[in-house]
A = this chain, B = another copy of it.
């Protein structure tokens, strides 16, 4: 059985969401965002930088949400949640799947650093504004693409677990501008899914500054 290491409010939610969508059994270990949790020697033996998600599956232990999601889909979805490799949707499935970490998350990380993680006296307004500006630019193509769509690709796919999760996080950070109506609708579609609702609540009783 897959074991998922999760901290609420992080990319680990993507993996929990996928596991819930696929109705797979999994074991969960919730790690608080502390020296005893994420940054403990024990967790650093799984990910040297003390990050989540990490999954273990038999002898395998891997990190990186994109890798884990691709692994679970390839291994356990029976072809669900991704388009057939010969379908015309497949290249765009890949594009939006990778766009998440390539374009959306770097400015979002910077926003979290500048508004939550750094102590107030070390925050930098210029860096924060650059990041907000870049995030807005990066979300724009997503906002355009999902016009008249409920999800990125087809009925729903693992690309939503990546980029849709980022859109949800960006919304929670207040970083989605009012005119991005399609993203707002997209995020409310996501929030209506019971698998998402279940996943996003996991470990919410654990103390976490970015949850």
**Would you call B106 and A94 a contact (CB within 8 A)?**
no
Instruction: Work out how many copies of this chain go into the complex.
Output: 2
**Would you call B67 and A97 a contact (CB within 8 A)?**
yes
In the assembled complex, how far is the CB of residue A51 from the closest CB belonging to chain B, in whole angstroms? 8
**Would you call B141 and A99 a contact (CB within 8 A)?**
no
| Inter-chain contacts of A92 with B (CB < 8 A) | 62
Query: In the complex, what distance in Å separates the CA atom of A124 from the CA atom of B125?
Result: 12
| Inter-chain contacts of A138 with B (CB < 8 A) | 49
Query: In the complex, what distance in Å separates the CA atom of A59 from the CA atom of B92?
Result: 12
In the assembled complex, how far is the CB of residue A83 from the closest CB belonging to chain B, in whole angstroms? 12
Any B CB within 8 A of the CB of A175: no
Any B CB within 8 A of the CB of A75: yes
Assuming A101-B102, A106-B109, A127-B124, is B60 touching A88 (CB within 8 A)? Answer: yes
In the assembled complex, how far is the CB of residue A118 from the closest CB belonging to chain B, in whole angstroms? 9
Assuming A126-B124, A127-B124, is B98 touching A70 (CB within 8 A)? Answer: yes
Any B CB within 8 A of the CB of A1: no
In the assembled complex, how far is the CB of residue A78 from the closest CB belonging to chain B, in whole angstroms? 13
| Inter-chain contacts of A129 with B (CB < 8 A) | none
Assuming A75-B85, A109-B106, A124-B127, is B141 touching A64 (CB within 8 A)? Answer: no
Between A63, A94, A103, the greatest number of chain B beta carbons within 10 A of the residue's beta carbon is seen for A94
Identify 29 residue pairs between A and B in the complex whose beta-carbon atoms are under 8 Å apart, listed by A's number.
A47-B141, A48-B141, A48-B144, A49-B103, A49-B137, A49-B141, A51-B103, A57-B91, A60-B88, A62-B91, A63-B95, A63-B99, A64-B95, A64-B98, A64-B103, A65-B98, A66-B66, A66-B98, A66-B101, A67-B91, A67-B94, A67-B95, A67-B98, A67-B99, A75-B85, A101-B101, A106-B109, A124-B127, A127-B127
Q: Which 9 A-B pairs have the closest CB atoms?
A: A67-B94, A66-B98, A64-B98, A67-B98, A106-B106, A101-B101, A67-B95, A62-B95, A48-B141
